Structure 1
Amino acid sequence: MKLSSFMNSVYPEGNPSSRIKKSRKDMIFSLEDLADRIGERPDRARVEELVGGEASQIELLLSSQPDKRCAMIWGYVSSLAAERSPLPLRLPARDYVGLELAGGSIILEKGRDHVGERMSGGRIKIEGAAGDYLGQEMKGGGIVAAGCRDYAFRQMKGGWGVVKGDAGKFLGLGNSGGRIAVQGSCRERAGWMMRAGRLFVRGDAGEYLGLLMSGGEIMVRGEAGRRAGWRSKGGRIAASRFGPEAADGALELG
């Protein structure tokens, strides 16, 4: 669903002008206006309180181009819109799309940074590659991306993520839950300080796979770089082949 169709889906019976007139005095006319009302530390509850449920208000804010100050606020608004939309909502590539998303579906042609951060439900599909911090601190829901850069699914607690291509550095850093599947390869230090959850890589993994991990499972169908499992205290690491200095507990697949 495009932004231009959002109001029609929320108000299927026709013109919402009567509702708009009733709340005109409380209308927020820009992201900057909303940021001034919220203050220095935006959070979802405050954004939701001020924006309310008016489709015209949400559409106006979504159509704005956020600066750095308003990036997180725009991300919260994108989640509110997706949760209210009966169909998947197609949005432009911006930082923080789907911030704390709890339901609904979002489709992006490509991703920027922090897409799906702290989401607890819903789905996000990125047709192209995502930037840094994809799915950071997510608790539920699911993300599919063609590829991603660094710190994807950092401190993940739940939910799932699928990367159809390659992933960058520090994949699954500090995870305590959730499931990650990479159909391509990933760079160094995937699963660093991992405590729980599952990480699967169909291709190769860079050096220091599972560095300092204390729990969870990592499986690499290809080759893991040097020092896999270095200083690990628990968990399970398996790969078809390991580079030099792999930890004693690393399992080589037959």
Structure 2
Amino acid sequence: MREHLSMRVPVDLKRLTRDELEALVRQYYEEIIVSRQAAEITARLNVEQFARMEELNQTLERAKLELERTSNLDGLTGVANRRYFEETLEKEWRRCRRNHRPLGVILLDIDDFKKFNDRYGHVAGDQCLQQVARALQWIIQRAADSVARYGGEEFVYLLPESDEKALEVVAERARSAVEQLGIPHAGSRAAPIVTISLGGAVTIPSSSQKPDEMLRHADQALYQAKKEGRNRFCLYPHN
């Protein structure tokens, strides 16, 4: 019998014996089966590889979104951080200037927080910041509004398209929510529990103004709230 009969070599079938033809048929049949099995395995691997790639891509996208989300949050309190606040403030400032709409901010801080840390320790201080942050976040009712940790014990609300009355409502809700936490604060000059002082400012942004000016006005109002006894809200301009 002739050897090395192969599908890859042209064969003159008429020159083959019956045994050679039978051997050739068996060989072709075996090669077809092997080729089909290899093709099926390759196809299955391709499908599995494609599914795996899709899974990896989806996981990567989720990881990127989570990284972006966490990069915008304060690590201790879980509310937005100062960088995110400043970026959002710039965007809202431009939008409100373009649409001639008011923009408001409320700066606030925890009354006598240094004395709280000195008396109860920094672990208790961190827990206090976390509880206050949750309360400040909880009172937000509009999707456009946000609260961020501005630094230390200081927080800030950004309130697009809000007038003075709207700021007063948000400020009182925040002040009351923190007061209702009932966190003991024996060293406070405002109350025997943790309280906050708040200062707000509203403006209709224009090309002649900068966001820093509005923040400075809110800070002046916050100073006035502390001057008047703390645990209260003052709005710029104040009497």
- TM-score scaled by length of structure 2: 0.26
**Greater relative CO (CA pairs within 8 A, separation 6+):** 2
